[in-house]
Structure 1
């Protein structure tokens, strides 16, 4: 399915600890580069071009999206965004989220797990149709 839309996606044999990648993403968010970092992290993971738990790989990915690498390295190694990450996990748990990916639409609908396009489209259609 991924190849049909031009995405390279390799099956991963291990479960990763994404905490460092989450910290790198928060670092990028503060600098207005979250979307670019988010996409670069996903691409690195699924294409097999970077390990999301490896500081050097995260710094390389960050450099590719234009964030300052020395500051990024320090933020990751110091776990500078621990409080933000922990709060996001608490909020997700409180909202009943226990699977990834999870999408919240309009603060009304929660769709968990990998879902087909048609499922997501139904939710958007429901939110945008006049009642």
Structure 2
């Protein structure tokens, strides 16, 4: 059995990151008799400004990409359809506000020490895309922590401190310096970069090619 290390650079505020991981799960399931996968999540912030209350997502995307709110609504509706086909809850995708995810990334690092990094990431995706909750709010983050069976009080103590802040910043800097400018990005066996929310078949082909080379 070949072991494959996948370092995933992603943001909790990135819908394609949630879709990409659901597709990756399908690829890993298909390859479970050939390969063992080790997953580690790394931080990226689409909205690094922690100030302000956020703005409605369609308005923000419209300004960012220079397209009409109607065009952005159509794009988001397409994503909702893709997500539903993968079993993801994107019900409130168009109702969310832009949010800073720095604190969420800190808790993902902490959850990783309890062996629940992926679970924390999924809980945050669900809160933000499925329920349009404020993913920068401490109460929302603690609820995510408790939903995956971790200690909410311990999470509150972390959020009230600066623990894991340096870890997240180092993570972000490392992958930016390595040339990652868009997410999701998968670094396979610390050597090969696969960019974007690729379809399961594409990922399966890439993993087979990479493991045959090594």
**TM (normalized to structure 2)?**
0.55
Instruction: Give 1:114 shift.
Output: 2.7
Task: State yes or no: 1:24 paired with 2:104.
Answer: no
Q: More relative contact order in 1 or in 2 (CA 8 Å, sep 6+)?
A: 2
Q: Deviations over 1:45-70 (max 9, x none)?
A: 22125321110000011011121111
The answer to whether the 8 Å contact 2:93/2:129 transfers is yes
Match of 1:7 among 74, 88, 91: 88
1:40-79 paired onto structure 2 within 5 Å:
40-48=123-131, 50-79=133-162
Q: Secondary structure at the match of 1:57?
A: helix
Measure, in 1, the Cα distance between the counterparts of 2:183 and 2:151: 29
Measure, in 2, the Cα distance between the counterparts of 1:58 and 1:41: 7
Task: State yes or no: 1:111 paired with 2:194.
Answer: yes
- 1:130 and 1:30, CA in 2 relative to 1: closer, same or farther beyond 3 A? closer
Q: Which runs of 5 or more structure 1 residues have no equivalent in the other structure?
A: none
The structure 1 segments of at least 4 consecutive aligned residues displaced by more than 6 Å after TM superposition are none
Q: Secondary structure at the match of 1:2?
A: helix
Q: Which runs of 5 or more structure 2 residues have no equivalent in the other structure?
A: 1-81
Measure, in 2, the Cα distance between the counterparts of 1:129 and 1:76: 44
Tell me the C-alpha RMSD between the 2 structures: 2.0
The answer to whether the 8 Å contact 1:41/1:52 transfers is yes
Q: Secondary structure at the match of 2:186?
A: strand
**TM (normalized to structure 1)?**
0.86
Measure, in 2, the Cα distance between the counterparts of 1:11 and 1:40: 15
